[in-house]
A and B are shown apart, each in its own frame.
Chain A
Amino acid sequence: MADTVVDARGLQCPMPIIKLSQAIMAASPGQTVELISTDKGSCTDVPAWAADMGHPLKEQFEVDGEFHFIIERA
C-alpha cells in the first residue's frame, strides 16, 4: 500500500501528471504515491515523467480498465 493515493480517474491529460507531480512534491524521500488513472495516455506519460524526474516507478498494473502506478519519491 502506498503512502498516498492520487485518484485521477476520469481526468484527462495533462491532469494525471499534474496531480501526480504535486503529490510527489508533497511526499518525503522514500515515500510512495499511487496514481490511479483512466487516461490511456498515462501508460506512456507516467513512466516517461518518472524516469525523467528520477523517481523510481515501483509498480504498474491495470485493474478493470484502471491504470495503477506506484512511484517512490527520490
Chain B
Amino acid sequence: MTMPDLAPVEEPTSTEPEPEREKMVLIAASGDLDKAWPVLILATTGAAYGMDVTVFFTFWGLAILKRPDAGISGDDWRQKLLSVFNRGTPENLGLSKLNFAGLGPKMMKDLADKHRVASVQELLELAQQMGVKLWPCQMTMDLMGLSRDDLIDGLADPAGAGAAIAEMKQASISLFV
C-alpha cells in the first residue's frame, strides 16, 4: 500500500499559547513482530487523537530501529555475536509464538498484505511523519554495542530511564509492551 500524504500543518494565526496536549508514552521492550506491531498501531492512533506520543525503545525493542545496513556492531565479541543473531529492522523481526525459524512471520506478513494491514515498516514511517517521538535507550545501546549510526534517522537523542519516567509522570496513557 502507499503511504497517505500528511495533512498540511496549520500555521498558528495568533500569539496565544498552544493548549497543552495530552501525553502518551509507550515502552517498546520487545523485538517480536507481534509486539512491535501493536506498539506502532497505538502510537499512530494516539497521534491521530492529537496526543503528544513518545515511544521509548529498550532492550530487544531497539531491533525495530536498526538500519538495514547496520552490519556487525560493537567492540566486544559478545556484542558482535549479538548483532549477527539479532539483525533487527522491521523486516527481520520474529514472532513470539509459532516462529518456525522465520516461516511464521513470513506467513503473518503475507496475511497482513492480503488483508491490507499496514506493515511495521509503514507504521514506523507514518509514526515519524505524524510527529511521534522515537527514543532509543542509551544504556541498552551501550550494552548491545549499538551506536547512533546503527539506528535509523529521525530519532530523538538517546535517553535513559530518568527521562522516560519524567515523560510517564505527565502522561495520561503509559504502556509497557
Interface majority SS (helix, strand, loop, mixed), chain A: helix
State which of A14, A20, A49 has its C-beta within 8 Å of the C-beta of B44.
A14
The answer to whether B116 touches A10, judged by C-beta atoms less than 8 angstroms apart, is yes
Q: A53 within 8 Å of B by Cβ?
A: yes
Interface residues of B in 107-128 (CB under 8 A from A): 115-118, 126
Query: Given contacts A11-B116, A26-B7, A26-B8, is CB(A18)–CB(B49) below 8 Å?
Result: no
- In the bound complex, how far is the Cα of B7 from the Cα of A22, in angstroms? 5
CB distance from A23 to the nearest CB of B (A): 7
Q: B11 within 8 Å of A by Cβ?
A: no
A-B contact number at CB 8 A: 47
Interface residues of A in 45-74 (CB under 8 A from B): 49, 52-53
The answer to whether A12 touches B118, judged by C-beta atoms less than 8 angstroms apart, is yes
CB closest chain-A residue, reference B117: A12
State which of A12, A19, A26 has its C-beta within 8 Å of the C-beta of B116.
A12
Interface size bracket, A side: 10 to 19
Residue among A13, A18, A23 facing the most chain B CB atoms (10 A cut-off): A18
Q: B48 within 8 Å of A by Cβ?
A: yes
- In the bound complex, how far is the Cα of B45 from the Cα of A9, in angstroms? 18
The answer to whether B45 touches A22, judged by C-beta atoms less than 8 angstroms apart, is no
CB distance from B68 to the nearest CB of A (A): 24
Query: Given contacts A13-B41, A52-B49, is CB(A25)–CB(B118) below 8 Å?
Result: no
CB distance from A73 to the nearest CB of B (A): 11
Q: B166 within 8 Å of A by Cβ?
A: no
Query: Given contacts A10-B116, A12-B116, A53-B50, is CB(A25)–CB(B7) below 8 Å?
Result: yes
The answer to whether B10 touches A25, judged by C-beta atoms less than 8 angstroms apart, is yes
Interface residues of B in 60-100 (CB under 8 A from A): none
Q: A12-B117, A18-B4, A19-B4 are in contact. List 7 more A-B contacts (CB 8 A).
A: A18-B126, A21-B47, A22-B4, A22-B5, A23-B7, A25-B7, A26-B7
Q: Which residues of B contact A (CB under 8 A)?
A: 1, 4-10, 41, 44-45, 47-50, 115-118, 126, 130
Q: Which residues of A contact B (CB under 8 A)?
A: 10-15, 17-23, 25-26, 49, 52-53
Q: Which 9 A-B pairs have the closest CB atoms?
A: A21-B48, A26-B7, A22-B7, A25-B7, A14-B45, A12-B117, A14-B41, A18-B48, A10-B116
